[in-house]
Amino acid sequence: MRQAPFHQLADDHSAPARAFWARADDGVTLRIAHWSAGDARGSVLLFPGRTEYIEKYAPVAHRLMAEGYDVLAIDWRGQGMSDRLQANRRPGHIGEWSDYQRDVVEMLVTAEQLDLPQPWHLLAHSMGGCIGLAALEQGLPVRSAVFSAPMWGINLRRMQQGLALGIAYLAGRVGRGGLAAPGSGGAQTTYPLDESFNANLLTRNGDEWARLVREAVAWPDLTIGGASFDWVGRALNECTRLSRIPSPEVPMLVSVGSEEKVVSQAAIRDRAARWPQAELLEIEGARHEILMESDAMRDLFWEAMLARFEAS
């Protein structure tokens, strides 16, 4: 495996991850990173969300390492340091939604090459939760699954889903499917730099928000802007498809905050109710990023997640 870069802020003296380049079967180059706990009790496959990059999860990885878990994380195609999929690098874009499963396959290949300690568990956030549910449908070899605000439906606010799909379809037909869709953030935006702390939808934790701002300033090439028309259309179709599949036979924990406004709370509750081995953790006051929320809210999630891993 070829070594890839891994970034750290100047005042971050924690042990860095080992990062590697991998290549999916369609030729897309991906970046994958590994944190080793040493004598580990198991491993966590970490599926990030849209716009995210591996470095954002370094604090999460270090806390999991302290609990005895190796961590393997990925930059999905089209974001982070993995290959962007069109000449305009800024919009979040995808060709076919199923292409994300090619990335999952390469992540598993890397896990095997690293002899990642068993058993494996899934930790998936937002878009990673959408990809993760599809991966479980296809037999992802994990003992348990934990989802943080999974994108099993998208909060379109005032727009009807049919209208959003129609606009995305028409944009694709006229060759504009790769452009950033209105309402998803402009192509050149970087959310932590363009949104105020008080208005942000991610976290109430000022320290975590400040870290995201510092990282966006330090590593602008890791960030992306709004989602493309093609991404929006394919994401909505995938959420609809997933809503119709049976729940996997894997023990599962899913969290949703009372202040969640990015993904659909209703879709999360619906899936949890139809998943026999599921625990729904509703966290009062939490926004979209429970892993980066206030200590009290975050600790509720950590306690439940570690209990889920240990019981599986």
Q: Give the Cα separation of 36 and 16 in Å (integer).
A: 10
Strand-strand pairing, 2-4 and 69-75: unpaired
pTM: 0.96
What domains can be seen in the chain, in order of their start residue?
A: 2-311 (3.40.50.1820)
| Torsion sign across C-alpha atoms 30, 148, 263, 274 | positive
**Which pLDDT score is estimated for 185?**
67
Q: Give the Cα separation of 200 and 194 in Å (integer).
A: 10
Question: What is the separation, in whole angstroms, between the first and last Cα of the chain?
Answer: 31
Is there a contact between 66 and 38 (Cβ–Cβ < 8 Å)? no
**Which pLDDT score is estimated for 162?**
62
Q: Give the Cα separation of 189 and 241 in Å (integer).
A: 30
**Which pLDDT score is estimated for 167?**
75
**Which pLDDT score is estimated for 156?**
80
**Which pLDDT score is estimated for 214?**
98
Tokens of residue 251, six digits: 């023990």
Tokens of residue 216, six digits: 């966006």
Task: Give the Cα-Cα-Cα angle 191, 193, 196 (nearest 5 degrees).
Answer: 85
Tokens of residue 273, six digits: 């109710």
Task: Give the Cα-Cα-Cα angle 99, 88, 100 (nearest 5 degrees).
Answer: 10
Cα atoms in the 13 Å half-sphere on the side-chain side of 23: 5
Q: Give the Cα separation of 25 and 187 in Å (integer).
A: 28
**Which pLDDT score is estimated for 179?**
87
**Which pLDDT score is estimated for 209?**
98
Residue by residue, DSSP assigns 122-185 as: EEEETHHHHHHHHHHHTT---SEEEEES--SSB--TTS-HHHHHHHHHHHHHTT-TTSBPTTS-
Average pLDDT per block of 10 residues along the chain, 312 residues long: 96 96 98 96 98 98 98 98 95 96 98 98 98 98 98 81 69 80 71 95 97 97 95 96 97 98 97 97 98 97 98 92
142 residue type, one letter: V
**Which pLDDT score is estimated for 290?**
98
